[in-house]
Every structure is written in C-alpha cells, then in structure tokens.
Chains A and B, each alone.
Chain A
Amino acid sequence: GENVEQHPSTLSVQEGDSAVIKCTYSDSASNYFPWYKQELGKRPQLIIDIRSNVGEKKDQRIAVTLNKTAKHFSLHITETQPEDSAVYFCAASIPGGGADGLTFGKGTHLIIQP
C-alpha cells in the first residue's frame, strides 16, 4: 500500500513569515494529493489539493507543488497569520484504490508566533 512521510512534525514561524511543509509518497500510481488543516477538537478541513497532471496550484496565500519524478509534494503558506496555527496533514490517493482511499502523513503542528 501507499506510505506517506511528512516533515517537519512541528514548525514554529513568526507571524508574517512563510511556512513550508514537505511530504513524500511511495506509490507512483498515486495521482491525487490533498492537504487538510485540523484545529484542535475540530474536523479536518480540505484547504488545497493537486492532481498528478499539474505541477503547482495556488489559492491566495496557500500553494502546493508536486514533483512526480521525486514523488514529493509541498505546502507553502505565505504571510502567515495567527489563525493559520493548526495541525496540517498531507495525503495521497491511488485511483480505484479500493480500501486504500486516502493515506495521510503524520501531520505537522504549525505554530504562528505573534
């Protein structure tokens, strides 16, 4: 099955600075890569996703890049704000993957220092 590694496990940045979270995946058949934000005690919320036929996608302060050859993808958050503090999960999905569904990375606890 798919295996997703995520780094770092904790990331502390000053408000206004940029944050980058990196993930690698093992199965070259994976073709869908979402990112979720989860605040304490709340549900995971989809913030951005990318498919394997695209190298980069941007939505306001959030961007995701994908390198299929190296099998890694990254989340970039610019001009960070206190409300960006949360746990961020990357995930990968294999098409028609049966019970595989989404495989998540272990998460990154992003802390925005005021």
Chain B
Amino acid sequence: DTEVTQTPKHLVMGMTNKKSLKCEQHMGHRAMYWYKQKAKKPPELMFVYSYEKLSINESVPSRFSPECPNSSLLNLHLHALQPEDSALYLCASSQAQGQPQHFGDGTRLSIL
C-alpha cells in the first residue's frame, strides 16, 4: 500500500482534450513532486512544490500546468498534449526537499 494516492490510475485522452491528474498525501509532507517516466527509463523531475513555492524543470512544456490547492494536494493540468507525452506520471512527497521521497502508484497516460 502507498501513502501517496494518485487518480486516475489510467487515462486515455485526445490531443485536444483538457484533463487533470490528482495526487494526495496525508503524511504532513511539505514537498510534493511530479515526475514523468517513459518505458525502460528513469523518472524525470517535472515540478517541485516545497513550502508552497513552485520550482519548474525548464524543459517541461507549458501544456503541463501544476497546481497545489493545499499542502496535501497536488494537481497536474493537461492541455493539448502530444503523443510523445504518453508515459507514467508519478507523484511523490517528502517531509522537505532532500528528505526521502515516497512515490504514488502513478497515472498511466495515453495520448491518441
């Protein structure tokens, strides 16, 4: 069982759709992360929210938009995605940056 919950588990969407991925943790962690993982590749960091401050990997395209409504929730808004965006999207949390990160089960995203 994981203490980081991600929904949905699977998502299929067209390139013109708008959808959101959700992540929730109730461990009181103050840092939350979004990673993208392609098949047979390591996770790649997309965004970090640490103490309500957002840090962005500058290589992430603007069609991905994170939102942190509160310290236990992290959303990833998707708009006008491309087929190459198909991947496993992992959320993680930690007490603070530089502390152990715990991953959710991920959302497997397919872009048609």
Contact = CB atoms under 8 A, between A and B. Distances in A.
A49 B100 contact: yes
A105 B42 CA distance: 7
B62 interface: no
A55 B102 CA distance: 23
Interface in A61-109: 89, 93, 95-107
Majority DSSP secondary structure for residues of B touching A: loop
A36 B105 CA distance: 14
Contacts of B55: 98-99, 101
Contacts of A99: 45, 47-48, 55-58
Interface residues of B, number: 25
Interface residues of A, number: 25
A105 B33 CA distance: 18
B2 interface: yes
B42 A46 contact: no
B98 A95 contact: yes
A42 to B, nearest CB: 7
Nearest to B56: A99
Contact of B101 (A42, A46, A103, A106): A46
Contacts of B23: none
Interface of A: 31-32, 34, 36, 42-46, 49, 89, 93, 95-107
Leading 4 A-B pairs by shortest Cβ distance: A104-B42, A99-B55, A101-B45, A98-B55
